[in-house]
Amino acid sequence: MTSNPSLRVSDAVQQALTDHTPVVALESTIFTHGLPRPRNVEVALAGEEIVRAAGGVPATIGVVHGQPVVGLTEDEIRELAYDDDVTKASIRDLSYAAVTGKNAGTTIAATALLAHAAGIDVFSTGGLGGVHHGAAESFDESADMYALAQIPVVLISSGAKAILDIRATLERFESLSVPVVGYRTDRYPGFYVADSDYPLTARVDDPADVATMMSAQKNLGIDSAVLVANPVPVDEQLDPQELDEVLQRAWAAADEQGISGQASTPFLLDFIRVATDGRSLDANVALYNNNIRLAVQIASELADGRS
């Protein structure tokens, strides 16, 4: 990696990349906006420990005082997690952050961009952004999808967030030529649940297969991400019927209160959290940790191929 004055990469991450040690990128919005305190910090630090325990190096990514950082320190994670003024930064927000000097959690789009800029191939998250219900009128679609069509990383997730239009999201990924492959499943995961009821056309059963896909894409000059759909463990998922019922109530409440645009996602996810007595958070943490474990395995396969 060449020196970049607009991006700080930690010494540990740079050394790991030089030594072909597995590196896993981790996003920061899960602890700046996704989880309540103090659980947000606990989950962020535990996720890093999962990577280390498997022989890898974690690279948690965020914006600190306006500067994107790949490889946040524990103190920086805590600062972002407890900053009441922390913002959420997608790709379009990164340059403005240099003006405001604010702290920010990075979205999937921004995290993927910064991970790739640092030379990291594997990125683990929880749920993807996608097409919102009613997007035909509102045009409300996540920038994550369009970014992933242009950034060559392996991204492990447990499907698009449950509040989204899953069918339309999968159609959009197909239109953008972004491969979506199920890990030991033929069905697209439903974030809080293991099965969204939508089939997948591609499946792999071994981390080495994902590494092969990534290598093939690079050799062919394909710049899109490889999306690995890794279901939440069935014994840790929400009850699918309960989730369907809660989602219907959540959308009705949002419509009644006039909630739309960027306010929709936090409103709906918080509604689900309250309606399930916090069990949605437990499922979120379970799938997040499960994705990190798979990410380290894939990163190890890719690192072995370069050593």
Catalytic residue positions, numbered: 27, 161
> Length of the chain, please?
307
Q: Which residues contact 198 (CB under 8 A, 6 or more apart)?
A: 166, 167, 170, 187, 188
Dist. CA 145–CA 224, nearest whole Å: 10
Would you list the DSSP string of 225-270?
A: -EEEE-PPPGGGSPPHHHHHHHHHHHHHHHHHHT--GGGHHHHHHH
Dist. CA 59–CA 9, nearest whole Å: 9
Dist. CA 305–CA 209, nearest whole Å: 12
Dist. CA 232–CA 239, nearest whole Å: 12
Phi-psi region of 177 (alpha: psi -120 to 50; beta: other; left: phi over 0): left
Question: In whole angstroms, what separates CA 305 from the centre of its chain?
Answer: 25
Please report where in the chains the tokens 């069905």 appear, as a residue. 187
| Nearest CA among 157, 170, 159, 33 for reference residue 90 | 33
Assign 18 to helix, strand or coil.
Answer: helix
Dist. CA 70–CA 213, nearest whole Å: 25
Do the Cβ atoms of 148 and 181 come closer than 8 Å?
A: no
